[in-house]
Amino acid sequence: SAVGRGPEVPFHSQAYRVSATARGKELRVTLSALGPAADTPQQQQHLVFRFGMSGSFRLCPAAELPRHAHLRFLTAESPPRALCFVDPRRFGAWRLGEAWQEGRGPCVVSEYQAFRENVLKNLDDRAFDVPICEALLNQKYFNGIGNYLRAEILYRLKIPPFEKARTVLETLKEQKNKKKDPSLMLSKKVRLMQKNLDLLELCHTVPMEVITAGKQIFDPEHSDNYANFKNWLQCYLVPGMSSLRDRNGRTIWFQGEPGPMAPKGQKARKTPSKKGAQPKADPETLTPKVTSRALRRRPRAAATPPKSDEEEEGEEEVTGGPRKGRARRRRVTAAPALPEPEMPPNTKRSRKTSARRGRGEA
């Protein structure tokens, strides 16, 4: 599209096949030419996608493209459909070539054993000197874990998010030795593994819940409806949970104590429950600017209450003098009791006419 930030895709073919392979947070899409174009030097084109926070693929009629469809692959049927890379926030991206991004470790889903070994053999790395909630976002070791997954994993294991990562993960070596004990019967080993699921295992099983139950959690026919996903969540954005920002500015949701490495000077906020949720205050009304003139005008709009001495002085300063302001108010309120004004000797009006007008005004 005209507003897409990704590079142009130098691939041309009247017919082609689209296939994909996932690894962690990346997706490699391969375009394979069909027919006569299959023998050309450009018979294949690889694209590697990162989805950011809002990127996704959507299949829809070509005549009804969704907004923010930054890349489209058209089908050969009639009427054609379009497989679109949709990214409203534009945090996602694609690049040409088949190489995965450097520095990413094994995938927590498709390469579980390699992922586990990569973590346990590198526990001396400084990357594990940080809180466990921050370490879980390090794609060098936890390729595929994001913000909502880390909250769900730590919540299920009741691990404080700001516990030191190395402290949490070093215990897994001891558990590994127990599970390899030859004196344990097989059935007891299975019970032990089920009872003592560790953090690295949940880094695999929790994402698998989303994948295997994808039809129920993310309905392809209603991709904008996240009600099922919200029902699946146990911690992330759930009412009653607490939240803090880590050193990278990412919000972590949790329950209970945050842990010894919690950021100082920051107070945990609780996500309000549905019943106790309060509407957001209008930012414009939080700190209104009220001038002394506005304060004086407000009482006059309703029934006028008696003014304090300070308000009297303020009005006198505006009108130009203390005596003048007070005299004007006394004359208005006591007009009926005023004596009849004396007329100058050279006036042409009679005293009777003036008196009638005076009574009429009163």
Instruction: Tell me: cis bond preceding 79? Omega within 30 of 0 counts.
Output: yes
27 vs 21: CA distance, rounded Å: 6
135 and 161 both lie in a single domain: yes
Tens of pLDDT, residues 216-268: 676 555 655 678 888 899 999 999 999 999 999 999 999 999 999 999 988 88
Residue 70 sits in which domain range?
Answer: 16-96
Last residue of a domain, one of 263, 285, 309: 263
117 and 237 both lie in a single domain: yes
Is 33 exposed, middle or buried, given 0-12, 13-18 or 19+ CB atoms closer than 10 A? buried
- Which domain CATH number covers 171? 1.10.8.50
**Lowest mean per-residue pLDDT among 39-53, 240-254, 261-275, 309-323:** 309-323
In a domain, 310, yes or no: no
123 and 206 both lie in a single domain: yes
Last residue of a domain, one of 215, 239, 263: 263
Q: Read off the pLDDT band of 59 (50, 70, 90).
A: very high
In a domain, 27, yes or no: yes
Tens of pLDDT, residues 184-229: 444 454 444 445 679 999 999 999 998 887 666 765 556 556 788 8
Helices 199-212 and 112-120 sit at what angle, rounded to 10 degrees? 150
Whole-angstrom CA distances from 187 to 24, 127, 181, 191, 326 are 33, 37, 13, 6, 98
- Which domain CATH number covers 24? 3.20.190.10
87 and 120 both lie in a single domain: no
138 and 224 both lie in a single domain: yes
| Tally of structural domains, the chain | 2
91 and 120 both lie in a single domain: no
42 and 134 both lie in a single domain: no
For 155-304, strand residue ranges (E) read 242-245, 251-254, 269-270
In a domain, 252, yes or no: yes
169 and 29 both lie in a single domain: no
87 vs 70: CA distance, rounded Å: 7
Most distant CA pair in the chain, distance: 132
118 and 183 both lie in a single domain: yes
